[in-house]
Amino acid sequence: MIYAANFKTNHTRQSTREYLGRLQPQLIKKHPNDKVYIFPPLTALDDYTSADFTIGAQNAYPVKNGAFTGEVGIEQLAEFNIKTILIGHSERRDILGESQEEVAKKFAFFKEQGFEIIYCIGESLEIREQGIEAVMEHLISQFEGIDTTYENFVVAYEPIWAIGTGRTASVEEITQTHNALKKVVDKPLLYGGSVKGANIAEISAIENVDGVLVGGASLKTETFLELVLH
């Protein structure tokens, strides 16, 4: 299983350091094959050398460096040895206005640099209510311009209506969607959307769920550990 924590715009440099300080000694208890990723805000990136977790960037601009006010490129990430990135999160697509074309450009750039990419896709409630065919059509459209044969890439299926809402997709919905997605892209497949201690057992038991991407429940070390060590 993969356990990925997306802090979004939460935590500071100091609180991230404290969080990781509490997390690290507990990870000795995790299953040796399980992988833990932490995506703190960009200001909290640092060179944390740990065999037990990987730090990734929530976002970056697809350049080495240059005149892109407010952005960071790979030169800034390299300072902290960051080689993992989240691309395509629905908050970046919907709130920050990233188009599929821009998302695909980022993917191609970071692929070229050999980054490990966690690539997010997900549908709105309106699409979900139209049924699985509409859902799959939408999800497949989010692979437009993406090299799905890239070896260093994980997919995170995150129904938008389940993110930060407390409303998790049902076991049936996750099963059906993950089974269909695996036929399209044969990569590790995470589920994201209100994963917490109360539902991790049933979600992680679903065939074709290879891990979880977690927002809210990742913000406290204890609640994230409830998932990793369940």
Judge whether 89 counts as a catalytic residue.
yes
Catalytic residue among 89, 91, 98, 123: 89
Q: Is 62 in the site for ligand PEP (CB under 6 A)?
A: no
Task: State the number of CA atoms in the 13 A half-sphere of 79 facing the CB.
Answer: 11
CB closer to ligand PEP out of 23 and 120: 120
Judge whether 18 counts as a catalytic residue.
no
161: β partners: none
In eight-state DSSP terms, residue 170 is: P
In eight-state DSSP terms, residue 229 is: T
Task: Using DSSP bridges, classify how beta strands 211-214 and 153-157 pair: parallel, antiparallel or unpaired.
Answer: unpaired
Binding ligand PEP (rule: CB under 6 A), the pick from 195, 225, 227, 228 is 195
User: Is 224 within 8 Å of 53 (Cβ atoms)?
Assistant: no
Q: Is 198 in the site for ligand PEP (CB under 6 A)?
A: no
The three-point CA angle 47-156-29 to 5° equals: 55
Q: Is 169 in the site for ligand PEP (CB under 6 A)?
A: no
Binding ligand PEP (rule: CB under 6 A), the pick from 192, 224, 225, 227 is 192
User: Is 202 within 8 Å of 174 (Cβ atoms)?
Assistant: no
Q: Is 163 in the site for ligand PEP (CB under 6 A)?
A: yes
Residue 82 Cβ vs ligand PEP, minimum distance, rounded to whole Å: 18
Q: Is 142 in the site for ligand PEP (CB under 6 A)?
A: no
Measured distance CA(83)–CA(110) in Å, rounded: 9
Task: Using DSSP bridges, classify how beta strands 211-214 and 116-121 pair: parallel, antiparallel or unpaired.
Answer: unpaired
Contacts of 130 (CB under 8 A, 6+ apart): none
Residue 32 Cβ vs ligand PEP, minimum distance, rounded to whole Å: 25
Q: Is 87 in the site for ligand PEP (CB under 6 A)?
A: no
CB closer to ligand PEP out of 185 and 214: 214
CB closer to ligand PEP out of 78 and 125: 125
Q: Please report, as residue ranges, which positions from 208 to 227 form the binding site for ligand PEP (by CB under 6 A).
A: 213-217
Residue 15, CA distances (Å) to 119, 180, 182, 211 in order: 26, 39, 37, 25
CB closer to ligand PEP out of 19 and 74: 19
CB closer to ligand PEP out of 23 and 214: 214
Cα dihedral sign for 206, 150, 81, 65?
Answer: negative
Residue 6 Cβ vs ligand PEP, minimum distance, rounded to whole Å: 5
Return residues touching ligand PEP (CB under 6 A). Answer: 6, 158, 163-164, 192-195, 213-217
